[in-house]
Amino acid sequence: MKEIYSADAARYDDSQALYRRCGRSGVMLPKISLGFWHNFGGADPYERSRAITHYAFDHGITHFDLANNYGPPYGSAEETMGNLMKDDFGPFRDELFISTKAGYDMWQGPYGNWGSRKYLFASLDQSLRRMNLDYVDLFYSHRYDPETPLEETLQALVDIVKSGKALYIGISRWPLEALKAADQYLKARDVPLLIYQGRLNLLDREPQTEGIPDYCADNGIGFISFSPLAQGLLTDRYLHGIPEGSRMAHARFLKSDKLTPELIAYLQRLNSIATTRNETLAEMALAWILNQKGITSVLVGASSTSQLEKNMKCVHAEPFSDSEI
Q: How many residues does the chain have?
A: 325
- Please identify, using beta-carbon distances, which residue of 160 and 171 lies nearer to ligand NDP: 171
Min dist CB 317 to ligand NDP, Å, is 13
Per CB under 6 A, 302 contacts ligand NDP: yes
What does the alpha-carbon distance between residue 318 and residue 174 come to, in Å, rounded to a whole number? Answer: 31
What does the alpha-carbon distance between residue 137 and residue 25 come to, in Å, rounded to a whole number? Answer: 13
159-188 residues near ligand NDP, rule: CB under 6 A:
172-173
Distance from chain centroid for Cα 138: 11
- Please identify, using beta-carbon distances, which residue of 116 and 201 lies nearer to ligand NDP: 201
- Listed as own residue / partner, the contacts of 235-241 with beta carbons closer than 8 Å and 24 or more positions apart are 235/280, 235/281, 235/282, 235/285, 235/307, 236/271, 236/280, 236/281, 236/282, 238/264, 238/267, 239/264, 239/267, 239/268, 239/271, 239/281
The helix or strand, by DSSP H or E, that contains position 3, with its residue range, turns out to be: none
DSSP structure string for 83-147: HHIIIIIGGGGGG-EEEEEE-S--SSSTTSSTT-HHHHHHHHHHHHHHHT-S-EEEEEE-S--SS
Binding mask 225-264 for ligand NDP (x = CB under 6 A): -xxxxxxx--x-x--------xx-----------------
Per CB under 6 A, 139 contacts ligand NDP: no
- Please identify, using beta-carbon distances, which residue of 50 and 142 lies nearer to ligand NDP: 142
95-134 residues near ligand NDP, rule: CB under 6 A:
none
Binding part of the chain for ligand NDP, among 90-98, 204-212, 264-272, 297-305 by CB under 6 A, reads 297-305
Q: What is the DSSP letter of 25?
A: S
- Please identify, using beta-carbon distances, which residue of 98 and 156 lies nearer to ligand NDP: 98
> Which of 11, 22, 30, 37 is the binder for ligand NDP (CB under 6 A)?
37
Binding part of the chain for ligand NDP, among 14-22, 34-42, 54-62, 131-139 by CB under 6 A, reads 34-42
Binding mask 57-76 for ligand NDP (x = CB under 6 A): --------x-----------
Could you tell me if 66 and 80 are in contact, meaning their C-beta atoms sit under 8 angstroms apart? no
Residues contributing to the site for ligand NDP (CB under 6 A): 35-39, 65, 142, 172-173, 197, 226-232, 235, 237, 246-247, 282, 299-303, 307, 310-311
